[in-house]
Structure 1
Amino acid sequence: MEKTEWRRKRVVLVPYPFQGHITPMLQLGSVLHSHCFSITVLQTNFNSLDPSDHPSFTFLTLPDGLEGLDVSLNNLLNVMSVMNANCEAPFEEHMTRMLGEEDGGEVACIIYDPFMKFVDIVADKLKVPTMQLKVNPAAYTHSMVIFLQLLQQKLIPLPESSDLNVLVPEAYPLRYKDFLMPVTQGIPEPVVEFIQTNTNVQSNAAVIWNSVESLDHWPLQQLQQRWSIPFFPVGPLHKSAQPLQTSLIKEDKACLSWLDRQSPNSVLFVSLGSLSVMDEEELINMAWGIAKSEQPFLWVLPPNLLNGSDPIDTLPQEFKEMTRERGCTVKWAPQKKVLAHTAVGGFLTHCGWNSTLEVLCEGVPLICRPSFGDHMVISRYITQEWKVGIAVEVKTEDGYERAIRTLMASEEGKMIKQRAVNL
């Protein structure tokens, strides 16, 4: 009998090129590779990873046309539009070539980020099955479905005088203020199209969620009643994947040595992610809140946090002198290792989903300072549904100090910590 060579089936991954989207997609690739799939990653020029850091994967490039374009948070819808227009043709070329290769292994499916909507167009034309990877919780997707319904029923926009703390029907525990967009304003058509794209999964074979049934049960149940395709909540992916180098910013690992010298559960870790921005006034308020709380802290201050100025240079000299013995500031940190460190007793966070899954897995309680996107929904679940964190009042002078003292040095904080450990 003639011997035939066994070939892995190939899975094609198409991540959206921002940190919170790239990381879980590559983690999923690692899991699938361990289950004998060949992994090909089609990545844009913008925020591309170094293929040498991932020798098990094959990388191909999608020219995105973003050179010289404003890629800041305020221009993300335009970035998405330009990217989708420019990536469709090269993606089709790559896929056509892969499908024609006899020795490349059969293409099992394409797994893509829903923001990369050109994938659907090409996959439908080439008859290749697709799955979406949702890098947000089902609670966020469900909130957008409800948002669209309210728009269609003309129940929003609400009058300017409306109480936005009122609970949204069919979306407990969310309030009107927790939606992606302000509900007292007209909703621009590009935003409506973005939400429709993000909630349209009917052309897919399945949806993979970087989420957990026990955290996301009710929203998953509600969405499953609307959509007939299978759901696979396989998260948290960072716990099942091999360790990967996916950071777009160089990590300062020296902060781990600093943590080694701190007492157990004493340090507040502060990080608002790679895309969040704030004004100088809030940065100074946060700094004085941290200083007056008298807690040891590790504070991540990436260069883009102030939209131009270096936030570390902007901190008052008096703050630096007051906290020199009990504080550490870095531009970026190896977050998973930091959160797993025994010295860390609390996490002041923007409530990004990757950060939230990482901290929940370590039993560390949270202070929530949401910025945009799914952050408000996640913050609400952290504080009201899972009860493992508190919200900070950013518009009050002593809001940060009060939140830090409550979490790190009060009886209420001890109970929150215990719930985080139990969860």
Structure 2
Amino acid sequence: MELENQTIHVLMVAFASQGHINPFLRLGKHLQTKGLHVTLATTETFRHRIIKHHHTDIGTTTITDEIPAISGIDIVFFSDGLSLEYDRKNNLDIYMDTLAKAGPIHLTNLITSLACDNIRPKKFSCIINNPFVPWVADVASQVGIPCSMLWIQPCTLFAIYHSFYNNAHDFPTKEDPKKSVQLPGLPLLQTCDLPSFVLPNSPFGSITKAFFEALKNIHKLRWVLANSFYELEKEVIDSMSKFVMIKAVGPLVPLKLLGQDHEVRDFVGIDMWKADDQCIEWLNQKEPNSVIYVSFGSLVVLSKKQMESIAIALKKSKRSFLWVVKPSNYPVPEGAGELPEGFLNETKEHGVVVPWCHQSLVLSHKSIACFLTHCGWNSMLETISVGVPIIAYPLWTDQPTNAKLMVEVLGVGIRLWPNDEGDVKSETIGECIKDIMDGPQATEIRAKAARWKDTARGAVAGGGSSDRNVQEFIDDIIRTSSCIECNVNSSSMESQSV
């Protein structure tokens, strides 16, 4: 007999980064609204950051010494093997290696303790991890729980990494650093289009190792879910189907951006900085499609030269702009992330600079004309969901590939290209601003952005491609749980008869 949905518990295990946790929370909310119980596990550093910044939401969030919850999703923590004071950002390789050794021990203990809780025991029917914590698949196997993975980058990146780690195609090497790559379902990829982790000069060996481990463990996974939607990456998803079945369940963005939720604060997610709500009041006073939104996400801190180039371009454009310049949580080079002297006073008539904002509210605002962005995938999905054109300024990791996808494949923006010295000049930024606001391509770019917005909303609507995939995933969890329960009961009856 099939189990009832309310008896099904799912454990999601996420890397302690805002860009990782938010897609998990939104997938968890989808599962929760369909009757499943969901718990998110991450490291103690996340709890520490939330309490340190003393603000926790967009969404109904409570962080206490007891089990906290975000929009009804329980949040639990385990140790990564390091002290809370340890500088993880500037010692990333050491941190990832330590997490891979200590994480399995502490996560296993956490799963055991949750199952034995006298008040609210949790017997998990499925565990969902992501590539930055590939060892979770081994933990799931050891405790006898089916494991799935949520791929939080585009499926295009999955195809690139799969080919790279399986030596299916030639990639750039130290001897041939400019080699281009042609993969099924994708346009020709130059070196500047590839994720930094597959390049011969990548300084982050631990991340490269984590992706390798994730793909090596792919046979241990029951499902590979992706934060994308089928219509967006049809060709690459189809091309990968002979290796692994990827099911797109996105875009995993706030429902407000998809036209499904009109509650302003019900965004289901966390922000690591306190948002400045006054910028929304400022946007309310602006004409439709008149404001340039500038933000580089939760991790990137721009160099002094990059800050100056953007500042000069915005000042010379004479157009309204909203620029997010966040404080850094870790040591940075002198001048990095700082505005040029006098910039605020010189642009006060047409610009606003804030330390952080509710990006969902900003991107969905009628006054936003374009988004100058680093092309992080979460931001790109939010942008697609509201139909806003982009000026792509990719820097590292998956961002160059995301920019390639957004500009050349989807046609929803313009890409900034550095000069021979590796710098993007203010003149180049200024020209792109002019082109995307009212240049020859502007109308076509806006039309394509509007069409992709409609397609994204159709994917998550009832009966859409992503909605169907989520339901198939849930149905499979229920079937698997039913089989496990039947086997357990049969074994128990056999032992009693003996």
The reply to whether TM is greater than 0.5 is yes
Shift of residue 309 of structure 1? 5.9
Shift of residue 101 of structure 1? 5.6
| Equivalent residues in 2 for 1:75-224, closer than 5 Å | 75-100=91-116, 104=121, 106-150=123-167, 156-159=172-175, 163=178, 166=180, 168-170=182-184, 171-181=186-196, 183=199, 185=201, 190=206, 192-200=208-216, 201-224=218-241
Per the alignment, do residues 145 and 312 of structure 1 end up closer, same or farther by CA in structure 2, a change over 3 Å counting?
closer
Distance 1:55 1:342 in 2: 27
Tell me which moved more, 403-412 or 170-179.
170-179
Distance 1:175 1:93 in 2: 45
Note the residue ranges of structure 1 that are not aligned, 5 or more in a row. none
Determine whether 1:297 maps to 2:321: yes
Distance 2:189 2:346 in 1: 40
| Equivalent residues in 2 for 1:41-80, closer than 5 Å | 41-48=40-47, 52=62, 54=70, 56-66=72-82, 67-72=84-89, 75-80=91-96
Q: Which residue of 2 aligns with 1:234?
A: 249
User: Match of 1:43, SS?
Assistant: strand
Determine whether 1:16 maps to 2:44: no
Q: Deviations over 1:84-123 (max 9, x none)?
A: 2222212111212334468635421011122112312211
User: Match of 1:120, SS?
Assistant: helix
Determine whether 1:422 maps to 2:451: yes
Per the alignment, do residues 288 and 133 of structure 1 end up closer, same or farther by CA in structure 2, a change over 3 Å counting?
same
Distance 1:90 1:176 in 2: 39
User: Match of 1:41, SS?
Assistant: strand
Q: Deviations over 1:320-378 (max 9, x none)?
A: 23311110000111001100000000000111111001011111100001122111111
Per the alignment, do residues 335 and 177 of structure 1 end up closer, same or farther by CA in structure 2, a change over 3 Å counting?
same
Distance 1:272 1:287 in 2: 14
Q: Which residue of 2 aligns with 1:413?
A: 442
Tell me which moved more, 365-374 or 58-67.
58-67
Find 1:275's aligned residue among 279, 293, 299.
299
Shift of residue 185 of structure 1? 4.2
Per the alignment, do residues 225 and 334 of structure 1 end up closer, same or farther by CA in structure 2, a change over 3 Å counting?
same
Determine whether 1:366 maps to 2:390: yes
Distance 2:203 2:72 in 1: 44
Per the alignment, do residues 146 and 313 of structure 1 end up closer, same or farther by CA in structure 2, a change over 3 Å counting?
closer
Give the TM-score normalised by structure 2: 0.76
Find 1:381's aligned residue among 401, 405, 410.
405
Q: Deviations over 1:125-152 (max 9, x none)?
A: 11110110111110011111233345x7
User: Match of 1:286, SS?
Assistant: helix
Q: Is the 8 A contact 1:210 1:235 kept in 2?
A: yes
Determine whether 1:404 maps to 2:418: no
Distance 2:178 2:74 in 1: 52
Tell me which moved more, 308-317 or 230-239.
308-317
**Cα root mean square deviation, aligned:** 2.7
Q: Is the 8 A contact 1:173 1:384 kept in 2?
A: no
Q: Deviations over 1:1-56 (max 9, x none)?
A: xxxx9953111111111111010001111111111111122121112356616262
Per the alignment, do residues 77 and 310 of structure 1 end up closer, same or farther by CA in structure 2, a change over 3 Å counting?
same
Shift of residue 311 of structure 1? 6.3
Q: Which residue of 1 aligns with 2:488?
A: none
Distance 1:221 1:180 in 2: 21
User: Match of 1:65, SS?
Assistant: coil
Q: Is the 8 A contact 1:134 1:208 kept in 2?
A: yes
Per the alignment, do residues 352 and 155 of structure 1 end up closer, same or farther by CA in structure 2, a change over 3 Å counting?
closer
Distance 2:356 2:202 in 1: 37
Q: Is the 8 A contact 2:303 2:333 kept in 1?
A: no
Q: Which residue of 2 aligns with 1:335?
A: 359
Distance 1:420 1:7 in 2: 39
Q: Is the 8 A contact 2:71 2:268 kept in 1?
A: no
Tell me which moved more, 91-100 or 183-192.
183-192
Distance 1:120 1:99 in 2: 18
Q: Deviations over 1:185-233 (max 9, x none)?
A: 4888645423312434221110111101011112212222112xx4321
Letter in 1 for 2:361: K
Letter in 2 for 1:296: S
Note the residue ranges of structure 2 that are not aligned, 5 or more in a row. 51-55, 63-68, 256-260, 453-498
Letter in 2 for 1:127: G
Per the alignment, do residues 334 and 311 of structure 1 end up closer, same or farther by CA in structure 2, a change over 3 Å counting?
farther
User: Match of 2:138, SS?
Assistant: helix
Q: Percent sequence identity over matched residues?
A: 25
Q: Is the 8 A contact 1:157 1:186 kept in 2?
A: no
User: Match of 1:355, SS?
Assistant: helix
Q: Is the 8 A contact 2:370 2:436 kept in 1?
A: yes
Letter in 2 for 1:138: C
Give the TM-score normalised by structure 1: 0.89
| Equivalent residues in 2 for 1:241-260, closer than 5 Å | 243-260=267-284
Find 1:307's aligned residue among 326, 329, 332.
332
Letter in 2 for 1:366: I
Q: How many residues align?
A: 412
Q: Is the 8 A contact 2:304 2:334 kept in 1?
A: no
Distance 2:171 2:378 in 1: 32
